[in-house]
C-alpha cells in the first residue's frame, strides 16, 4: 500500500536525481541554477524530517522541516527571478521565512494547533507558487521557445491550486492525530501532487537552462564576436528569407556591401589592435544608426553587408551616404593617438526572381566601381542597364 512516508521518500529520491542534474549544470554559470540547487537541497533534508515525525522531536519534524520546505519554495522562486533577470527579493523572502517559522513555533509550543500550521504553510505555498507562475509568464524571453516556461508556470499554478484545496480540506475536516498515518484519498492525492511539484518544477528549470544554453550557442554561431555584427552565414540566412518575402509581397529589399578603405594602411600605421578597434567602432556606430529590422553582417575581414528590407535603391543610396559620411567624420582615439577612416559602398536592390548570390554579386560589382572611382563613395547599379559591354557606365555615382 502507498503510504504517505513512501510518497515523501520517493520524492526525496526524485529531488536527489534533480540535484545531480543541476550540479552538472552549475559550471555553466547561468543565473538561477545555484538557487534551484539550494532549493532541492532544502527539500531533500526536509522530507526525511517529515517522515520521521513520530521518531524525532517536534523541533526537527515540525519547525525545521517546515522552515526548510518554505525555504525550498522561496529558493525556487528566487532561481526563476534570477534566471529571468529579475530581482529575487532575498531580504523579503528571508523575512517571510522567519515569520512563518515563528508561526510554526507558536502553534506548536504555545497552542499546539495543527490546522493553523497547515493553513499557514498552504497559504504561503499557494502564494509563492502563484508568484512563480506570474514571473515565468510575464518575463519569459519572447524570442525563445515558450514551452519550458509554460510548463513550469502550469505546474506552479497546479501546485498553488492543490495547496489551496489542501488548506480548505484541513479547514473543514476533524484534524487527524497523526498526519503521517492520515491516508484518506484526499490527503494522499493532494500530498502526492504537492510532493512531486518541486522536482517537476526543477525538471522544467533544467529545460529552461537547456533552452538558454541553446540560445547562447546559437547567438555565438550567428554573431561575429569581435564586432557584434551578425555572421556571414546568418546574414545570408536572413537575406534568403527576406528575398522570398520581398518576392511574395512585391516590396523592395536592398543590400549594401561596405568595405573600409585602405584598411591595410591603418593596420600598418597603428597596429592590428587599433585595426580591430576601428572595426568594432565602425560596427557599433553603424548598428546604432540602422532601423530595427535592418541587419549588419560581417562578411569577412574589413567587409560588411547591410540588409535593408522595404527599401528601394533611392532610399538605400541615401542611407549608404549617411553611413559613409558618419564613418568619414568618425575619429577613433586612444593611447596610439587618433585615427580616422572612410568606407566605400556598393548598393543593389533585389530584382524579380533574383536570388541572394546574384544580388550580392551585383552589390559587389558596384563596390568594385566605388573603389575604382576613388573610394569614400557610394555606387549603385541601375536596374535597367545590364549590358555587359557598357558595365563601367552602368553605375551611377551616388556619392552625393
Ligand X SMILES: Nc1nc2c(ncn2[C@@H]2O[C@H](COP(=O)(O)OP(=O)(O)OP(=O)(O)O)[C@@H](O)[C@H]2O)c(=O)[nH]1
Looking at beta carbons only, is 218 or 276 nearer to ligand X? 276
Q: What is the dihedral of CA 268, 271, 272, 273, to 10 degrees?
A: -160
How many chain residues bind ligand X (CB under 6 A)?
Answer: 16
Binding segment for ligand X (CB under 6 A), chosen from 15-23, 97-105, 258-266, 320-328, is: 258-266
Angle at 332 between CA 331 and CA 335, to 5 degrees: 135
Residue 302 near ligand X by CB under 6 A? yes
Contacts to ligand X from residues 136-165, by CB under 6 A:
none
Q: 346: closest CA among 310, 394, 386?
A: 394
State the minimum distance, in angstroms, from the CB of residue 278 to ligand X.
7
The C-alpha cell at 328 is 568619414
CA 182 to chain centre: 45
Q: Which of 236, 261, 379, 381 binds ligand X (CB under 6 A)?
A: 261
In the complex, the smallest distance separating the C-beta of residue 258 from ligand X, rounded to whole angstroms, is: 11
Provide the minimum distance between the beta carbon of 311 and ligand X in the complex, in angstroms, as a whole number.
Answer: 25
Q: For residues 182 and 193, what is the distance between their CA atoms, to the nearest angstrom? A: 16
Which residues are paired to 340 by β-bridges? 331
| Binding window for ligand X (CB under 6 A); candidates: 100-108, 255-263, 304-312, 321-329 | 255-263
Among residues 247 and 375, whose Cβ is nearest to ligand X? 375
**In the complex with ligand X, which residue's Cβ is closer, 171 or 301?**
301
276 binds ligand X (CB under 6 A): yes
| Comparison of 119 and 230: residue with beta carbon closer to ligand X | 230
Phi, psi of 111 (to 5 degrees): -110, 110
Q: Which active-site residues does the annotation give?
A: 302
Work out whether 379 is an interface residue with ligand X (CB under 6 A): no
Kindly state whether residue 372 participates in binding ligand X, applying the rule CB under 6 A: no
Residue 388: how many other CB atoms lie within 10 Å? 6
Asked if 259 interacts with ligand X (CB under 6 A), we say: yes
Per rule CB under 6 A, is residue 275 in the interface with ligand X?
yes
158-166, 210-218, 268-276, 356-364 -> range binding ligand X (CB under 6 A): 268-276
H or E stretch covering 139:
helix 114-139
What is the spatial distance between Cα 80 and Cα 86, in angstroms, rounded to a whole number?
Answer: 8
- Does the protein bind ligand X through residue 301 (CB under 6 A)? yes
Q: Which of 92, 240, 264, 382 binds ligand X (CB under 6 A)?
A: 264
233 makes contact with ligand X (CB under 6 A): no
Longest alpha-carbon distance in the chain: 101
DSSP string of 71-101, one letter each residue = HHHHHHHHHHHHHTT----HHHHHHHHHHHH
What is the C-alpha separation between 14 and 323, in angstroms, rounded? Answer: 58
Instruction: Note the residues at the interface with ligand X (CB under 6 A).
Output: 259-265, 267, 272, 275-276, 279, 301-302, 371, 375
Amino acid at each position: 500500500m502507498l503510504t504517505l512516508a513512501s510518497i515523501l521518500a520517493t520524492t526525496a529520491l526524485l529531488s536527489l536525481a534533480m540535484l545531480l542534474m543541476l550540479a552538472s549544470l552549475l559550471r555553466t554559470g547561468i543565473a538561477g541554477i545555484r538557487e534551484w540547487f539550494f532549493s532541492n537541497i532544502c527539500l531533500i533534508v526536509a522530507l526525511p524530517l517529515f517522515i520521521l515525525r513520530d521518531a524525532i522531536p517536534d523541533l526537527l519534524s515540525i519547525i525545521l522541516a517546515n522552515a526548510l520546505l518554505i525555504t525550498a519554495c522561496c529558493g525556487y522562486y528566487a532561481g526563476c527571478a534570477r534566471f529571468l533577470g529579475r530581482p529575487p527579493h532575498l531580504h523579503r523572502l528571508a523575512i517571510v521565512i522567519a515569520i512563518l517559522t515563528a508561526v510554526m513555533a507558536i502553534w506548536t509550543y504555545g497552542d499546539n494547533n495543527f490546522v493553523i500550521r497547515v493553513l499557514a504553510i498552504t497559504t504561503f505555498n499557494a502564494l509563492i507558487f502563484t508568484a512563480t507562475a506570474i514571473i515565468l509568464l510575464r518575463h519569459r524571453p519572447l524570442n525563445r521557445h515558450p514551452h519550458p516556461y509554460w510548463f513550469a508556470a502550469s505546474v506552479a499554478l497546479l501546485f498553488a491550486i492543490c495547496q489551496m484545496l489542501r488548506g480548505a480540506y484541513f479547514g473543514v475536516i476533524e484534524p487527524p492525530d497523526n498526519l503521517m498515518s492520515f491516508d484518506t484519498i484526499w490527503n494522499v492525492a493532494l500530498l502526492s501532487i504537492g510532493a512531486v511539484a518541486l522536482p517537476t518544477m526543477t525538471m522544467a528549470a533544467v529545460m529552461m537552462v537547456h533552452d538558454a544554453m541553446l540560445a547562447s550557442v546559437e547567438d555565438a554561431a550567428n554573431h561575429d564576436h569581435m564586432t557584434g555584427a551578425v555572421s556571414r552565414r546568418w546574414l545570408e540566412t536572413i537575406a534568403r528569407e527576406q528575398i522570398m518575402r520581398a518576392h511574395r509581397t512585391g516590396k523592395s529589399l536592398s543590400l549594401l556591401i561596405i568595405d573600409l578603405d585602405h584598411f591595410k594602411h591603418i593596420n600598418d600605421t597603428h597596429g592590428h589592435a587599433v585595426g580591430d578597434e576601428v572595426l568594432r567602432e565602425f560596427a557599433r556606430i553603424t548598428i546604432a544608426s540602422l532601423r530595427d529590422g535592418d541587419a549588419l553582417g560581417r562578411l569577412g575581414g574589413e567587409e560588411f553587408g547591410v540588409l535593408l528590407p522595404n527599401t528601394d535603391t533611392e532610399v538605400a543610396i541615401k542611407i549608404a551616404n549617411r553611413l559613409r559620411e558618419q564613418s568619414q567624420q568618425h575619429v577613433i582615439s586612444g593611447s596610439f593617438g587618433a585615427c580616422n577612416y572612410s568606407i566605400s559602398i556598393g548598393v543593389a536592390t533585389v530584382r524579380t526572381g533574383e536570388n541572394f548570390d546574384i544580388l550580392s554579386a551585383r552589390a559587389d560589382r558596384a563596390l568594385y566601381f566605388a573603389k575604382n572611382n576613388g573610394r569614400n563613395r557610394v555606387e549603385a547599379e541601375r536596374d535597367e542597364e545590364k549590358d555587359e559591354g557598357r558595365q563601367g557606365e552602368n553605375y551611377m555615382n551616388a556619392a552625393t
